[in-house]
Structure 1
Amino acid sequence: MLSVFDQGPPPPCPAPFNLAAHVLRHADRLAEKTALSVIGGDDPQDWTYAALKQAILGTGAGLLQTGLHPGDIALMRLGNTVDFPIAYLGAIAVGIVPVPTSSQLTAPETAKIIQDLNPTAVLRDPSVACTDHPMQITLPDLAVMRNLSPAAFQMGDPDRMAYVVYTSGTSGKPRAVAHAHRAIWARQMMVDGWYGLRDDDRLCHAGAFNWTYTLGTGLMDPWTIGATALIPDPGTELTSLPNVIRDHRVSIFAAAPGVFRKIVASTGTLHLPELRHGLCAGEKLSPTLHQHWLRATGTELFEAYGMSECSTFISSSPDHPARGEALGQPQPGRRVAILGPDGPVPQGQEGTIAIHRDDPGLMLTYLNAPEEAQARMQGDWFLTGDQGAMAIDGQITYLGRDDDMMNAGGYRVSPVEVEAVLSQYPGITQVGAAAVEVKQDTFLIAAFYTGPEKLDETVLRTYVEANLARYKQPRAFIHLPELPTGGNGKLLRRALPAYFKASQP
């Protein structure tokens, strides 16, 4: 048998369609129900479904009044506040294309995005780094818009572009991933295929408002089925999250593995009486961490695998737990294969994880590199770049990347991008970047460089802080007489972690 999981496609996305309208489809019926609570801090906030819908459609009306039109691109430079999802969905509601970006990006990084996309406007929190742009809509302006007469949803072709997210490209240049309105339709396959989510759930996500993992799993998916989303106040300490989960009657808790790791490391047994289970994504969940969580809470932890180009599509769930160290299985309605050079490989054999081109959650293209998007297709399959093996029951085991991409706290980072910044620093003649394990299941980015002499680490840190988002910044700098290379003189990045271990006392 070949490594293909295909139980038929999901129901087709209806037309006309609008992503934001789908997210708010229960808002009128559940007008007084709490849609969102910002919890655990000094400024708790509760938003009913009625208030949320008004703020989103008021924002949409305000954006149109500024002169923006459906199809225009709006770069989002907003912080970790509720303003982010309101502006995001407000733009999508009226057909404007938002580009959510991390507030950690530096001004030089933002300048490259503006040059790349040529956005019509920038939605801007003045405290968030950004280069100049002729049309900036500020946070106070956005706040005023919430109370305007609500706009109508701009309905249309579900295949039209809805939003753009950036992901690290293997070439070192971040790629602009364009998604259609139908992407939210595809996320319904996660409700049972990963979340085990019900409309009476209180789902808490530990991530920032302006992270796409939080936007999807933490906010839009609960709202789509009429559940309540809870987001910890930005100042909440990770070690206090167990108290937040208990005090706010959280039934499902979602986070990146690093958050679960900090929680179980800071305490022993956790009494979380209303928590049914946890959801984990962003990087591979280690078996050790999984077992620690089980022992500490008595609840399961369900993992999902995905990417910016298609969100999550392989996962474990309450109905289908993972076996051993497997990721889980493709969600119902997904068509997934493990491919070799000639197509699907036999079950049990290693190959590249791939998803069918007709998946409603698959991106439209890379706006700045359509040829690269096409190059990732093999027949009817989109190649993820990750290696895996499929068992006879469809469960898939993750076997690593087939390139040098790094994972830093749930963010995929291209080593080429880090190297390009450091190579411009005086005194560095060659540089390589790699993720290194500093303790069990804890990784950071390290930079290895050559040059006439060892450089001051404090100065190097200051330099990368000014030129790279925090999650891309190396945390260690190792001076070497030469970097490892292959027979063709090409840098061997996979050999670099051994040099880090050798440098440690």
Structure 2
Amino acid sequence: MLQSASLREPVPARFNLARYCLAENARLRPDATAITVVGDAGALRWTHAELDRKVRSLAAGLRGLGLAPGARVMIRMGNEANAALVYFAAIAGGFVPLLASSQLTYEEADFLLKDCGAAALALGAAFEGETHDSDAIVLRGADLARLAETPPLDDYADTGANDPAYLVYTSGTTSRPKGVLHAHRAAWARRPMRAHWTGLGPGDVMLHAGAINWTYTLGVGIVDPLSAGGSAVLYNGHPDPNVWPRLIAEHRATVFAAVPGVYRQMLKYAELEQFDLSSLRHCLSAGAALPPSLLADWRARTGKEIYEAFGMSECSTFISSGPATPVHPGSPGRPQPGRVVAALPPDGGETPLPAGETGVLAVRRDEAGLMLGYWNRPEEEREAFRGDWFISGDLVEFDAEGYMHHHGRADEVMNAGGYRVSPAEVEKCLLAFDHVAEAAAAERPGRDADTTIIKAYVVIRDGAAHDEAAILAHCAAHLAAYKRPRAVAFLDALPRNANGKLNRRALP
């Protein structure tokens, strides 16, 4: 699926991500709410003018510590306002923040701290007692409050669009996470999402159900609404499916974003009809495939659309449905205008495959949203590129209308009697069976040590029968013999990681 690069908006040569999100709002709508963080005890709100000043003040305070330009500032916090403040302040000061997941263990966080060579470590309330064997300057709540009293910078750092802006860490094929380094231009590259996924504009209120240190939340929940002139609402209280419709009603959210699992929990446990959802224009989903049955149930229950998207840490979100891109259930959408995306032959070559053929998903190297590279991992960086293309490792096909269909990861492909079989293809068939709410497929040992079979793992809808024979018969009717599961395991829930994605390796 190739599109003309001429559709892109040129990135300004001098560009600072934090200025882009904050400065214009402070000028045009200073008294409007920028960020609201809701907890069990109440809410903290900052206007655009307050956020702009706080960021420039903290940026000045960080500079006062003597940090070198481009120094890494690691942020180890929960879903709290200070996380966004330090993130933007580091970028405003010309530094490179790393928002680490609050779910990391001490050992995992310590690895990131040392791997990125952080010059400063900002700790949230839950981590203030930690000590790390590092030369990094440790900043706790009181330290940050003091630095935020520094007279503000007159302006944001004068950075180039291609200068390093922030780091995220992602799991790779190796046993250790790797840093993904992004440029300031990554925020500008998100502009096509407005018409073709999020639909965000001035005055919109975005409620995101994720944690701020996840790239989905950071981008869609914070950067996108602020850069579009809207406001962001985050929640850090006790999780409860009824929280989300309540917050939509209380804050008059116009867009709600979550992973499919959150929508499933809301449909199952939340009293949706008890809340006024009239402010909600539409919803967003990413992080995992949105089952067509879940989409249909949500539409029937709420009358609201869910726009799905596909992205990755290295390139954010570049395939989606949205207000200008009709939803095709079962597909996350098609490449946004200006993105140059293709399916390349799995075994090599740079010639894009025609519609209907399965290959590895590739993004052209000149994509503005693509990472600068992997942090201190030159070998893995080289392996990630094939000529002018970044290779994602996802097996996909594009149909005649340009919609992408995902067939799993290249390193998850099953071998059934010598045939390559995509788990996603089997899972799509399983999900089409009425009684199945969630499904996964994996290659498992057969009756003897020399054979393997495809095994299905399913979560059954409430009240439905656990009928293995019926599920296998359904698969026999819709899949070639070599693609069919030979056994079914019934689970209460599929194993997922902290971001809601299927953890296939944890399947029993």
* Length-normalised TM-score, structure 2: 0.79
Residues 160-179 of structure 1: matches in 2 within 5 Å? 160-179=163-182
2:304 alignment counterpart: 299
Is the counterpart of residue 141 in structure 1 residue 146 in structure 2? no
1:363 alignment counterpart: 371
What's the secondary structure of 2:226's corresponding residue? helix
- Candidates 282, 287, 297, aligned match of 2:287: 282
Distance 2:364 2:178 in 1: 21
- Candidates 382, 385, 390, aligned match of 2:390: 382
Q: Is the 8 A contact 2:290 2:330 kept in 1?
A: no
One-letter amino acid matched to 1:443 = L
Q: Is the 8 A contact 1:436 1:444 kept in 2?
A: no
Q: Is the 8 A contact 1:77 1:130 kept in 2?
A: no
Distance 1:273 1:18 in 2: 36
Q: Is the 8 A contact 2:494 2:502 kept in 1?
A: no
2:244 alignment counterpart: 241
Is the counterpart of residue 202 in structure 1 residue 205 in structure 2? yes
2:221 alignment counterpart: 218
What's the secondary structure of 1:52's corresponding residue? helix
Distance 1:47 1:299 in 2: 29
What's the secondary structure of 1:176's corresponding residue? strand
Post-superposition offset of 1:76? 1.3
Distance 2:366 2:501 in 1: 36
What's the secondary structure of 2:391's corresponding residue? strand
Across the two proteins, how many residue pairs are aligned to each other?
430
Q: Is the 8 A contact 2:76 2:122 kept in 1?
A: yes
Distance 2:500 2:403 in 1: 32
- Candidates 189, 199, 215, aligned match of 1:186: 189
| Pair 353,472 (structure 1): closer, same or farther in 2 beyond 3 Å | closer
One-letter amino acid matched to 1:70 = P
One-letter amino acid matched to 1:22 = Y
Distance 1:438 1:311 in 2: 30
Per-residue CA distance 1:245-295 (angstroms, 9 max, x = gap): 122211110111111111111146535111111001111111121111111
What's the secondary structure of 1:208's corresponding residue? coil
Post-superposition offset of 1:79? 2.0
Q: Is the 8 A contact 2:205 2:254 kept in 1?
A: yes
Moved more, 32-41 or 186-195: 32-41
Per-residue CA distance 1:167-222 (angstroms, 9 max, x = gap): 00111210110001111110111111211112121111111232222111111111
2:230 alignment counterpart: 227
1:454 alignment counterpart: none
1:41 alignment counterpart: 40
Per-residue CA distance 1:329-367 (angstroms, 9 max, x = gap): 111221111111332111111111111111111001101
Is the counterpart of residue 266 in structure 1 residue 242 in structure 2? no
Post-superposition offset of 1:6? 3.4
Q: Is the 8 A contact 1:82 1:209 kept in 2?
A: no
Gaps of 5+ in 2: 414-422, 425-454, 462-491
Is the counterpart of residue 328 in structure 1 residue 333 in structure 2? yes
Distance 2:99 2:174 in 1: 22
1:158 alignment counterpart: 161
Bigger relative CO (Cα 8 Å, ≥ 6 apart): 1
Q: Is the 8 A contact 2:78 2:124 kept in 1?
A: yes
Identity %: 39
Is the counterpart of residue 309 in structure 1 residue 314 in structure 2? yes
Distance 1:52 1:316 in 2: 32
One-letter amino acid matched to 1:356 = R
Distance 1:371 1:153 in 2: 34
Distance 2:391 2:247 in 1: 40
- Which contiguous aligned blocks of 4+ residues in structure 1 show a shift greater than 6 angstroms? 469-475
1:105 alignment counterpart: 104
RMSD between aligned residues:
2.7
- Candidates 2, 8, 11, aligned match of 2:9: 11
Per-residue CA distance 1:40-85 (angstroms, 9 max, x = gap): 6322122110000011111101111112121111111122200001
1:443 alignment counterpart: 494
Residues 108-123 of structure 1: matches in 2 within 5 Å? 108-123=107-122
What's the secondary structure of 1:243's corresponding residue? helix
Q: Is the 8 A contact 2:214 2:499 kept in 1?
A: no
Q: Is the 8 A contact 1:203 1:252 kept in 2?
A: yes
1:425 alignment counterpart: none
One-letter amino acid matched to 2:47 = T
Is the counterpart of residue 57 in structure 1 residue 66 in structure 2? no
Per-residue CA distance 1:5-28 (angstroms, 9 max, x = gap): 335351221121111011113222
Moved more, 49-58 or 232-241: 232-241
Distance 2:460 2:322 in 1: 29
What's the secondary structure of 2:27's corresponding residue? coil
2:472 alignment counterpart: none
One-letter amino acid matched to 1:360 = A
Q: Is the 8 A contact 2:3 2:338 kept in 1?
A: no
* Length-normalised TM-score, structure 1: 0.80
Gaps of 5+ in 1: 408-433, 446-468, 476-492, 501-505
| Pair 295,367 (structure 1): closer, same or farther in 2 beyond 3 Å | same
| Pair 130,276 (structure 1): closer, same or farther in 2 beyond 3 Å | farther
Distance 1:94 1:361 in 2: 22
| Pair 385,62 (structure 1): closer, same or farther in 2 beyond 3 Å | same
| Pair 437,166 (structure 1): closer, same or farther in 2 beyond 3 Å | farther
One-letter amino acid matched to 1:305 = F
Post-superposition offset of 1:234? 2.8
Post-superposition offset of 1:389? 0.9
Distance 1:32 1:181 in 2: 27
| Pair 191,473 (structure 1): closer, same or farther in 2 beyond 3 Å | closer
Distance 1:261 1:474 in 2: 15
Distance 1:77 1:17 in 2: 27
Q: Is the 8 A contact 1:164 1:177 kept in 2?
A: yes
Distance 1:124 1:294 in 2: 41
